[in-house]
Amino acid sequence: MNFHQYYPVDVINGEGTRCTLFVAGCEHQCRGCYNQSTLPLDSGQVFDKLMEDRIIADLNDMRIIRRGLSLSGGDPLHPANVSAVLALVNRVRRECTKKDIWLWTGYKLSNLTMEQQAIVALLDVLIDGKFEQSLANPSLLWKGSSNQVIYRLTPA
């Protein structure tokens, strides 16, 4: 898996102060996508153990308390990203107690593969659906277009 950007302190992509990772690779090609540079799978930098270790350390850093991890892109549920994202969310669950995990995907919850569903089972919040430029609304919280759905998978 590759990634484009990592923000160790982010207050935009989910509730509270968070760590946010933007992965590379998206097959949806949504018209008007604000993250077009993340669409090619081979773009960005390689996501390696050092980057994974940094995310875990940042989530556990008591100097700046983070509520959790946000995963966006690109698409974290792109088939080429699934194994690395699953490993990361499993590690967050094991080593970062009481941190929540949010994930944005263009895939619909009802159409996910078994591998993608394994990731969703570990999430607290899933925002699904392709960005639809004709339904875009900048006043929406946590989503770009009104067709997208926010699923709270665990109690807040």
Q: What is the pLDDT of residues 139-150, one digit of tens each?
A: 999 998 999 999
Assigned token pair, 103: 């994930």
What is residue 3's predicted lDDT score, i.e. its pLDDT? 97
> What is the per-residue pLDDT across 39-68, written as a single tens digit (0 to 9) for each?
878 999 999 999 999 999 999 999 999 999
What DSSP character marks residue 119? H
Place of tokens 């094991």: 94
| Distance, CA of 25 to CA of 31 (rounded, Å) | 15
Low pLDDT (below 70) residues in the chain: 155-156
What is residue 156's predicted lDDT score, i.e. its pLDDT? 61
